[in-house]
Amino acid sequence: MSDWLDRLRHVEPLEDVPVDESLVSGLEQTWGDERSDVRQGINFYTPTFKAFQTSELKDCGKSAWPAVSITGGDCKLQCDHCKAKILEPMLPAKSPEDLWRVVNGIIEEGAQGMLLTGGSNHQNQVEYDNYYSTIRRIKDEFPDFKIAMHTALVDKDIALCMEQSGIDAAMMDVIGSQDTITQVYHLRRRVDDFEETLEHLVATKMKVVPHIVIGLHYGHLLGEWNALEMVQRHLPDALVLVVVMPFYAPESRPFVTPDAHAVGRFFMDARQALPETPLLLGCARPPGMTKLQIDTYAVMAGLNGIAHPSDGTVELAARLDRNVKVTPACCCIAVGDEVMALNGSDAGLDINLDAIIEQERNRRRMSKISNQGLNGIRIVTEQGSDNSSRTGLCST
Ligand code: SF4
C-alpha cells in the first residue's frame, strides 16, 4: 500500500472510500515530495467552523455575497443541465433602478459584495448594456463593495465596458467541446468564441476567474482538456473547477453522475497544466460517495481551495502535510473572498489537526454522541485507537 493510501485509510470518514490506487500512487509520486509547491497550503471554505463540523450548509440565508440576476428567473438558453433553475433563488433586479435598490438593501444587511449575473440570450450573452452606469454609480458610492460578474460571452468592447464600470472580477464558463455547445447549450457559437472571450477578459484589469464544469456533456468528460488548454493559453487569476449536478436535466436527455476517478485524473492534469495558477474546487459537485472521492482526489492533486469540504477532507490534507486554512464564509469561492484575496497572505485562518480533533471531541461530548467516532473525524492511529496527541502535521 502506498504511503498516501495508508494515510487516507487512517481518516475514518474516508477509510472505505474507493479510490483508483494507481492514480493515488501517481499523485503521490508527483507531489509527495516535501519540496513540492503543491504541498504548501490549502484553504477550506465553509460557512462557519461549526457548520464545517457537520458539513451542512447552515446560515446561508444572509450571504455576504448574494447573487443578483438582472433577468430574474428568465433565460432564453434553457441548457439541458440547468433549465434556468440556477437563477430562481437569486435576487431579481430586472432594471437598473431595481439593481440600485437591491444593492443598497444588501449593503445595509452587511453584504460585502455580490455576484451579478442573469439569464442568457440566444447568443449566450447576458445583456448588461443598460446597467453599466448603475454599476459605476454603485462602485463610486460604495468602493469597498465588490462585484463579481458572470460575463457569459463578450467581445473586446463589452469587456472594456465591464472593466470601466468597475467590475472587480469576471467569471465565465469555458467550454471546450463543440458538441457540448451545440447539444447541451443549444447554442450556435464556436469553441473559439469562448477562448476569445477569455482573451478579451484577461486583457482588462479585472480579476478573471473562469470555471470549467466537469462532466458538462451529459455527465461525460469531453471538452474539459481542450478547455484546460484554452485556460493555459490565457492564464487567468484563478481557475474554479466544479462538477456537474444535473438535477434539472429532462428525462429525454439525462445526465449520468460523472466518474469520480476521471474527475481525479482531470484534477491531476489541471494541476500539471497550471502549476502557478490557483486552482479551486467550487461547491457544485455530486453528493454522497462521489463527493467523498472527488474531495479526496482534490486534496491529493494539490488544489489550492475547496468549498464545503466533505467530512475527513481537512484531516486528510493535514495528514498529507498540507498547511491547512479555513475561511468561515459561505459560497465565497465562487464570488467573493477567495477571488478578491487571491494570493493575499490574510486569506483564511490557520488551524491544525489537533484543533480539529479537539473541536470534534467537544462537540461529541456536548451532544452526548458516542460509539460513532467523532461524528465526522475519528483519528485512527497505527494501533487502531483514537488519539489526539499526534502533532506537527500542520502549523498554527
Ligand atoms: S444559460 Fe446559464 S442560467 Fe441559462 S439555462 Fe444555461 S446554465 Fe442555466
Return the DSSP state at 13: G
| Assigned C-alpha cell, 320 | 498529507
Return the DSSP state at 180: I
Mean per-residue pLDDT for 314-342?
67
The verdict on the CB of residue 78 being under 6 Å from ligand 1 is yes
Pairing mode of beta strands 305-307, 41-46: parallel
The verdict on the CB of residue 75 being under 6 Å from ligand 1 is yes
The verdict on the CB of residue 171 being under 6 Å from ligand 1 is no
The verdict on the CB of residue 86 being under 6 Å from ligand 1 is yes
The confidence score (pLDDT) of residue 98 equals 98
Cβ-in-10-Å burial (0-12, 13-18, 19+) of 334 comes to buried
The confidence score (pLDDT) of residue 311 equals 85
Angstrom distances, CA of residue 170 to CA of 47, 50, 127, 146, 223: 23, 31, 15, 11, 22
The residue with cell 487567468 is 236
CB 239 within 8 A of CB 66: no
Which range is most confident: 54-63, 346-355, 369-378?
A: 346-355
The verdict on the CB of residue 180 being under 6 Å from ligand 1 is no
The confidence score (pLDDT) of residue 85 equals 87
What backbone torsions phi and psi does residue 332 show, to the nearest 5 degrees? -70, -20
Return the DSSP state at 184: I
> What is the distance in A from the centroid of ligand 1 to the CA of 226?
21
Distance CA 202, CA 238 (A): 11
38 pLDDT above the threshold of 70: no
The verdict on the CB of residue 77 being under 6 Å from ligand 1 is yes
Round to the nearest angstrom and report the end-to-end CA distance of the chain. 30
352 pLDDT above the threshold of 80: no
Question: What pTM did the predictor assign?
Answer: 0.84
CB 69 within 8 A of CB 61: no
The confidence score (pLDDT) of residue 52 equals 42
> What is the distance in A from the centroid of ligand 1 to the CA of 184?
10
| Assigned C-alpha cell, 309 | 469540504
H or E segment at 178?
A: helix 178-179
Q: What is the mean pLDDT of the chain?
A: 82
The verdict on the CB of residue 125 being under 6 Å from ligand 1 is no
Q: Which class is domain 3-367?
A: alpha beta
Distance CA 16, CA 19 (A): 9
> What is the distance in A from the centroid of ligand 1 to the CA of 78?
6
Confidence of residue 325 (pLDDT cuts 50, 70, 90): confident
CB 266 within 8 A of CB 239: no
The verdict on the CB of residue 198 being under 6 Å from ligand 1 is no
The confidence score (pLDDT) of residue 364 equals 46
The verdict on the CB of residue 82 being under 6 Å from ligand 1 is yes
For 115-174, how does the pLDDT look when each residue is reduced to its tens digit (9 = 90+)?
A: 899 999 999 999 999 999 999 999 999 999 989 999 999 999 999 999 999 999 999 999
> What is the distance in A from the centroid of ligand 1 to the CA of 132?
22
Mean per-residue pLDDT for 88-97?
95
The verdict on the CB of residue 79 being under 6 Å from ligand 1 is yes
The confidence score (pLDDT) of residue 247 equals 75
Percent of the chain with pLDDT over 70: 76
Amino acid found at 84:
A
Domain edges within the chain: 3-367
> What is the distance in A from the centroid of ligand 1 to the CA of 88?
11
The best mutation among 68, 69, 76, 82 to test binding of ligand 1, ranked by most ligand atoms within 8 Å of the C-beta, falls on 82
CB 248 within 8 A of CB 73: no
Angle value at C-alpha 270, between 329 and 80, nearest 5 degrees: 75
